[in-house]
Amino acid sequence: MLKHFLPDQHVQNILDITPEMLVERGVKGIITDLDNTLVEWDRPEATPELIEWFTSIKEKGILITIVSNNTQHRVKSFSDPVGIPFIYSARKPMTKAFKRALKDMKLKNEQVVVIGDQLLTDVLGGNRLGLHTILVVPVASSDGFWTRFNRKIERIILSWMKRKGMLHWEE
């Protein structure tokens, strides 16, 4: 069961994920979280570096969909200016929003990666569908109440995985 919490990859920042790396893997689509994955949870818009990253991804023909547990207002106000489709109130780790993103992008599971900052939502949700999951270090050190709670659980899971030799990166 705990293997469902184990990401396929771990990176420091979403900007470390290059379009070339994705194309080499055969990736045609990205399902990404918003808060603390793309930008800080309280930052309303994309940074110039993130806009450049979106552009480089799109230039390679890779589709992007933001899948967030946050409200329509939060996700729409971030996504619309950068022209990225989104699904809000996703209820991750439930798989319905992931399946909808796959259907909207018209892609198969093996063509899509899930990128997020939480084991209990992004990684678990992606792994439940057999999607390639990439865990990023959160871009902010502060979180909302439920995310702080999730992070405590994640630390326990990561500690256990580390003791069992399941982790192949340093925190």
Locate 33 and state its tokens: 């979280």
Q: 109: domain range?
A: 2-164
Structural domain count, the chain: 1
Residue 45, in any domain of the structure: yes
**For the domain that residue 85 is a member of, what is the CATH number?**
3.40.50.1000
Q: Exposed, middle or buried: residue 122 (CB in 10 Å: 0-12, 13-18, 19+)?
A: buried
pLDDT in tens, 51-67: 999 999 999 999 999 99
Q: Are the C-beta atoms of residues 42 and 77 closer than 8 Å to each other?
A: no
pLDDT in tens, 70-110: 999 999 999 999 999 999 999 999 999 999 999 999 999 99
Predicted TM-score (pTM) of the model is: 0.87
Percent of the chain surpassing pLDDT 90: 75
Residue 106, in any domain of the structure: yes
Q: For the chain, give the mean pLDDT.
A: 91
pLDDT of residue 150: 74
Rounded-to-integer distance, Cα 130 and Cα 58, Å: 24
pLDDT band at 145 (very low <50, low <70, confident <90, very high): low
Rounded-to-integer distance, Cα 98 and Cα 143, Å: 23
Q: Are the C-beta atoms of residues 171 and 71 closer than 8 Å to each other?
A: no
Residue 170, in any domain of the structure: no
Residue 171, in any domain of the structure: no
